[in-house]
């Protein structure tokens, strides 16, 4: 398993956590008020996973990302998806902290935006960046980075501890 495979596993897990943030479980059965406690737990899980994923990218691929040759349109798309995701994360975090988790429905609206921006960024990495990494890095190096990332995850510093 190479580093791209590890990151693809992370992407699947992040998509699942982002979906949990916007799922119907935030509305209890019988029209009861939204389940604030569950949403806050899902928020913690998402942010924990996201930070771990970013750490894997920073630790193992930050230099490689700089070396990947993208055309101007691809660079612009990648930069914009990163910017939009960073803004959505910031807004969601600030809203969640500022509301103390009391306003679940508005938080879900912000979470929907976060989910959409996350998907745009992950899709861009998968369509544009990862194929370029595979083409420009030796397979043995990619496998070595994958093994190191998984070893770090087992020690608790990464996402993909499978």
Whether residue 162 lies inside any domain: the answer is no
Q: How far apart are CA 65 and CA 78, in angstroms?
A: 11
Whether residue 86 lies inside any domain: the answer is yes
Mean pLDDT to the nearest integer, 40-65: 86
Q: Are 128 and 71 in contact (CB under 8 A)?
A: no
Q: How far apart are CA 71 and CA 82, in angstroms?
A: 17
Considering the chain, what is the average pLDDT of its residues? 83
Structure confidence at residue 162 (pLDDT):
39
Q: Are 108 and 22 in contact (CB under 8 A)?
A: yes
Whether residue 49 lies inside any domain: the answer is yes
Whether residue 161 lies inside any domain: the answer is no
Domain range enclosing 40: 3-154
Whether residue 91 lies inside any domain: the answer is yes
Q: Are 64 and 144 in contact (CB under 8 A)?
A: no
Q: For the chain, what is the domain count?
A: 1
Whether residue 92 lies inside any domain: the answer is yes
Q: Indicate the pTM of the whole model.
A: 0.82
Out of 3-7, 79-83, 110-114, which region has the weakest mean confidence (pLDDT)?
110-114
Whether residue 160 lies inside any domain: the answer is no
More confident residue, 123 or 35: 123
Terminal alpha carbon distance of the chain: 12
What percent of the chain has a predicted confidence (pLDDT) above 90?
Answer: 50
Q: Are 66 and 78 in contact (CB under 8 A)?
A: no
pLDDT, one tens digit per residue, over 136-149 is 899 999 999 999 99
Would you place residue 161 in the very low, low, confident or very high pLDDT band (cuts 50, 70, 90)? very low
Whether residue 9 lies inside any domain: the answer is yes
Q: How far apart are CA 129 and CA 62, in angstroms?
A: 12
Out of 27-31, 106-110, 120-124, which region has the weakest mean confidence (pLDDT)?
27-31
């Amino acid at each position: 398993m190479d580093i791209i495979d590890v990151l693809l596993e992370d992407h699947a897990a992040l998509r699942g956590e982002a979906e949990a943030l916007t799922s119907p479980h935030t509305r209890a059965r019988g029209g009861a008020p939204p389940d604030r406690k569950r949403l806050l737990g899902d928020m913690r899980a998402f942010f924990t996973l996201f930070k771990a994923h970013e750490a894997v990218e920073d630790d193992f691929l930050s230099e490689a990302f700089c070396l990947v040759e993208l055309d101007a349109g691809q660079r612009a798309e990648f930069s914009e998806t990163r910017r939009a995701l960073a803004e959505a994360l910031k807004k969601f975090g600030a809203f969640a902290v500022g509301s103390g988790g009391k306003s679940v429905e508005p938080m879900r609206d912000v979470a929907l935006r976060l989910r959409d921006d996350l998907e745009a960024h992950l899709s861009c990495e998968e369509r544009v960046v990862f194929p370029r990494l595979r083409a420009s890095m030796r397979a043995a190096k990619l496998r070595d980075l994958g093994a190191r990332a998984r070893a770090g995850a087992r020690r608790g510093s990464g996402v993909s501890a499978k």
